[in-house]
Structure 1
Amino acid sequence: GGSTITVFTDISPDQFKEAISSQIKDFDIRAVSDNSGKQLEVAIIVHEENTDSLEKILEDFLGYKLTSENSSKETTSASLSEDFYKQLIVAVLLAFFWMAAVVFLIFAKGKKVKFWVVFINILLGFFLGNFFFSANKFVSAIIFLAFAVYLIYTYIKNSVPAFAVMLSAFADIVMTLAFVDIMGTKLSIAGIVAFLMLIGYSVDTDILLTTRLLKKKEGVNRSLFGAFKTGTTMTLTSIAAVTIALIAVYSFESVLNQILTILIIGLCFDLFNTWITNASIIKWYVERKQ
């Protein structure tokens, strides 16, 4: 939870930072500009308990009282913010496991095992939605791991290609998350939404590759190269489009900046994970079946 005080001014964020940092240690600050790059306002975000202190600091720094005409103030309670984060985490987990289930249904054989995969995923969704955060943390972790281990074992045993797609998508998320952490970026709600989008972006080329190799009408290497040309074109086009969008909105300092940045990083990692990791597994699987 926290409070955001937005001041309508052209004073630089660095000047605000100097005035605030001596009294409040934990805060975020960003400037908002128009299309021409002219600064319109400065937004300062602090913990809820520091709201009054920040307001006094700003009034002393600016030399006038903050009103609705020269500023705005928004407060989000800690409980509401925490609940929203939990719901987003559940959404990402469910999206990932159902993505893997759909890929499994496409490439696996046998109605019985497909039924059990769907049934277990429904149970997992019920558990995540109702008990994952409300139950004891240790118990929740054990139950979640039991679901995950069973599903992963089923995917490996019955459909290696489905497992390879899931592994590639998982690697995209983990590697992107690690890179964002190394950059020192504080992950916001917008960032979690970006990871949700990244799941969809990462799967399309994996499915293209898997379909081309499993349903090949020519040699393995020729099919792989054909899939590589198409898939790489798709990913590079997406990277170009997202990069242009980031350049266009970067000066606005909006939540789109973090979403687009995470997507660019994730798509770059997707090139490696699809055409090195996933391609190697699928090629080994196809040649082993021959």
Structure 2
Amino acid sequence: MKMITDYKKLLLISFILIFFSVGVLGYNYSMTGEVLDKSIDFKGGTVASVILAEDTVDVSKIEDIANEKIGSVVVRTSKDNEGTSIILESENVIQDKDIVEILDSAGVAYNSDDINIQSVGAALGAEFMKQAIVAVLFAFGLMAIIIFLTFKTFIPSIAIISSATVDILFAMALMVIFGVSLNLGTLAALLLLIGYSVDTDILLTTRLIKRKGEGTLDERVMSSMKTGVTMTTSALVAFTTLYLISTSTMLDQIALVIIFGLLADYVTTWFQNVGLLRWYLRDEEKKEEVAEKKKPRYIRRQKKTKNSKTNKNKKQTKKGKKK
């Protein structure tokens, strides 16, 4: 298990993930002026949906017609129990007559009674965005407070918080690459990632920091890994299944964002945090050794005698249990 003992290589892999995520988000910001592409929920505009009388439509043809008539429009389809729907999103105003003209020009069969239009004002969208930022910061703040109160040490606590941060950054980077916009659903998914991220990190940190007597450092890492990887993989399988069988665009996006974060969690927990905690524990052991050498010789002898008696008693107890 050479990679487990070489914490510098473990941290290098995590740094590559961080640079990739920041690079993608930075590039998107330089090109669009936004870190993430925001949906109508956060920038204002109109969403129009129509239940169609047919299962397949030419989305690109409808989008071209809509762009000529309304302006910048994003067109997509969605399937549910009611059938196939066409959804048009635009920062501009969309009216019923616009939808009728667009679908008639595209030769799409539909029922005019099934047209549904929802509008969000730009000011209201901006207010939603502010509240979303506050919600994320508040969630991170509470998480940080609880973790610091639990472990009462700086490096392990920072390791857990940084892991959650990197998971979310990576998920956001893949949202940019796969064209998933920030909406109310994906915001909820990003908040859920905080919980999914810290559970394995808390498991690892507890085993390594608070249970030092339960085997060697490598044994405790491997024990934590068996449990933690099983937890993450179970969640990954569940959300992958949801993504594959869901007919709702919103559920697809939520599942996809959580899948992105869980994939990153493998790296941040079992590479980044293992590396940081190994470095921290090795440093603590060296400090303890230096402090031990500074103690008077007779105190060290007393401690050795006490430890030898304790080990002898443990061996006798184990022999008694075997009998």
TM range (shorter): 0.7 to 0.9
What is the CA–CA distance in structure 1 between the aligned matches of 2:77 and 2:242, rounded to whole Å?
A: 19
One-letter code aligned to 1:107: F
Equivalent residue, structure 2, for 1:5: 48
Calculate percent identity across the aligned residue pairs.
33
Task: Map 1:36-55 onto structure 2 (within 5 A).
Answer: 39-51=83-95, 54-55=98-99
Verify: 1:93 aligned to 2:137, yes or no: yes
Q: Which has the higher contact order (CA 8 A, sep 6+)?
A: 2
Distance change (3 Å), C-alpha of 1:59 and 1:274: closer
Report the CA distance between 1:8 and its aligned residue: 2.0
Render the CA deviation track for 1:28-86: whole Å, top value 9, x for unaligned: 22222236xx943211111243547843642652679x986131211122222221121
Report the CA distance between 1:175 and its aligned residue: 1.8
TM-score normalised by length of structure 2: 0.67
Higher gyration radius (CA): 2
What is the CA–CA distance in structure 1 between the aligned matches of 2:168 and 2:256, rounded to whole Å?
A: 13
One-letter code aligned to 1:82: A
Render the CA deviation track for 1:90-145: whole Å, top value 9, x for unaligned: 1011101211111110000xxxxxxxxxxxxxxxxxxxxxxxxxxxxxxxxxxxxx
Which residue, out of 73, 91, 94, partners 1:27?
A: 73
Which residue, out of 244, 248, 263, partners 2:258?
A: 263
Equivalent residue, structure 1, for 2:227: 230
Distance change (3 Å), C-alpha of 1:40 and 1:67: closer
One-letter code aligned to 1:223: R
CA contact (8 A) 1:34 1:40 kept: yes
Equivalent residue, structure 2, for 1:175: 170
| Partner SS for 2:181 | coil
Equivalent residue, structure 2, for 1:192: 187
What is the CA–CA distance in structure 1 between the aligned matches of 2:78 and 2:133, rounded to whole Å?
A: 29
Render the CA deviation track for 1:201-241: whole Å, top value 9, x for unaligned: 00000000000001232110000010011100100111001
One-letter code aligned to 2:219: R
Equivalent residue, structure 2, for 1:208: 203
One-letter code aligned to 2:281: V
| Partner SS for 2:280 | helix
Distance change (3 Å), C-alpha of 1:226 and 1:50: same
Equivalent residue, structure 2, for 1:154: none
| Partner SS for 2:93 | helix
CA contact (8 A) 2:62 2:103 kept: no
| Partner SS for 1:69 | strand
CA contact (8 A) 1:20 1:57 kept: no
Render the CA deviation track for 1:129-178: whole Å, top value 9, x for unaligned: xxxxxxxxxxxxxxxxxxxxxxxxxxxxx521101101111111112212
Verify: 1:17 aligned to 2:63, yes or no: yes
Task: Map 1:144-159 onto structure 2 (within 5 A).
Answer: 158-159=153-154
Equivalent residue, structure 1, for 2:241: 244
Gaps of 5+ in 1: 109-157
Equivalent residue, structure 1, for 2:279: 284
Count of aligned positions = 237
| Partner SS for 1:70 | strand
Deviates further, 20-29 or 228-237: 20-29
Gaps of 5+ in 2: 1-43, 286-323
Report the CA distance between 1:27 and its aligned residue: 1.7
One-letter code aligned to 1:209: L
One-letter code aligned to 2:189: A
| Alignment RMSD (CA, Å) | 2.5
Equivalent residue, structure 1, for 2:20: none
Which residue, out of 107, 114, 120, partners 2:151?
A: 107
CA contact (8 A) 1:3 1:75 kept: yes
What is the CA–CA distance in structure 2 between the aligned matches of 1:59 and 1:177, rounded to whole Å?
A: 34
| Partner SS for 1:22 | helix
Distance change (3 Å), C-alpha of 1:245 and 1:223: same
| Partner SS for 2:47 | strand
What is the CA–CA distance in structure 1 between the aligned matches of 2:227 and 2:111, rounded to whole Å?
A: 56
What is the CA–CA distance in structure 2 between the aligned matches of 1:30 and 1:210, rounded to whole Å?
A: 44
What is the CA–CA distance in structure 2 between the aligned matches of 1:56 and 1:68, rounded to whole Å?
A: 7
